[in-house]
A and B are shown apart, each in its own frame.
Chain A
Amino acid sequence: LAKTTQPISMDSYEGQEVNITCSHNNIATNDYITWYQQFPSQGPRFIIQGYKTKVTNEVASLFIPADRKSSTLSLPRVSLSDTAVYYCLVGDNYGQNFVFGPGTRLSVLP
């Protein structure tokens, strides 16, 4: 079973900031939090990874509170091409690291 819970779907408009929150109440001390993006008929693509506090790269930011029981992926100024499914994963032992949940289907509207 996936160790994370995310909203099934979200809608947004072009130019808006989108925040997708993931709950991982049972996150372990050594677990990292990783987000992926998937377009139809393609493999998921790594977006960002973090352990605590805030991480930022050229495409997104990841906010992790001190208790690490949740995390928020922030996409600034989304465009139509950001319409995709976004997955949140947390690390664990062999084979448990990479259990995908249903993800969040983001629809960006014009």
Chain B
Amino acid sequence: ETGVTQTPRHLVMGMTNKKSLKCEQHLGHNAMYWYKQSAKKPLELMFVYSLEERVENNSVPSRFSPECPNSSHLFLHLHTLQPEDSALYLCASSQDSGGDAPLHFGNGTRLTVT
């Protein structure tokens, strides 16, 4: 039990599909994050939410749309993706978004775009 649960664990979708990734944290944290990890590349920060408000968006294409309905849940809505979007998508949470608050990660969703 990692405290951060991501579903689904694996997802295969076509370029015209719409799907959503879900993340839930059971740690009472106030900040949540989406990261992308492509093969043999460092983790890329995509979105940061603090107290349900987006505070960081690292120039992510609009085909990725985050949603944070409350401090425990985070979604990543996907539409018209490209094959290069295939990657491991990781959700994380922290007590707050300060530099002294360690990140707690889920085990990710392995996304394959065909």
A interface residue numbers (CB < 8 A to B):
2, 30-32, 34, 36, 41-46, 49, 51, 90-92, 94-95, 97-103
Instruction: For B108, list chain A residues within 8 Å (CB).
Output: 41-43
CB-CB contacts of B78-108 with A at 8 A, as 1s and 0s?
0000000000101110000111101111111
Contact between A95 and B45 (Cβ–Cβ < 8 Å)?
A: yes
20 contacting pairs across A/B (C-beta < 8 A): A2-B42, A36-B103, A41-B110, A42-B107, A43-B90, A43-B105, A43-B108, A44-B103, A44-B105, A46-B103, A46-B104, A91-B98, A91-B100, A92-B99, A94-B48, A94-B50, A95-B48, A97-B97, A98-B33, A100-B45
Q: Which of B35, B42, B98, B104 is within 8 Å of A102, CB to CB?
A: B42
Instruction: For B55, list chain A residues within 8 Å (CB).
Output: 94-95
Bound-state CA distance A98–B42 (Å) is 12
Instruction: For B4, list chain A residues within 8 Å (CB).
Output: 43
Contact between A30 and B92 (Cβ–Cβ < 8 Å)?
A: no
| Number of A-B pairs, beta carbon distance below 8 Å | 66
Contact between B43 and A31 (Cβ–Cβ < 8 Å)?
A: no
Bound-state CA distance A64–B91 (Å) is 29
CB distance from A2 to the nearest CB of B (A): 7
Contacts known (A41-B110, A94-B56, A95-B48); A34 close to B88, Cβ less than 8 A: no
Contact between B42 and A100 (Cβ–Cβ < 8 Å)?
A: yes
Contact between A90 and B99 (Cβ–Cβ < 8 Å)?
A: yes
Contact between A95 and B56 (Cβ–Cβ < 8 Å)?
A: yes
Bound-state CA distance A91–B103 (Å) is 11
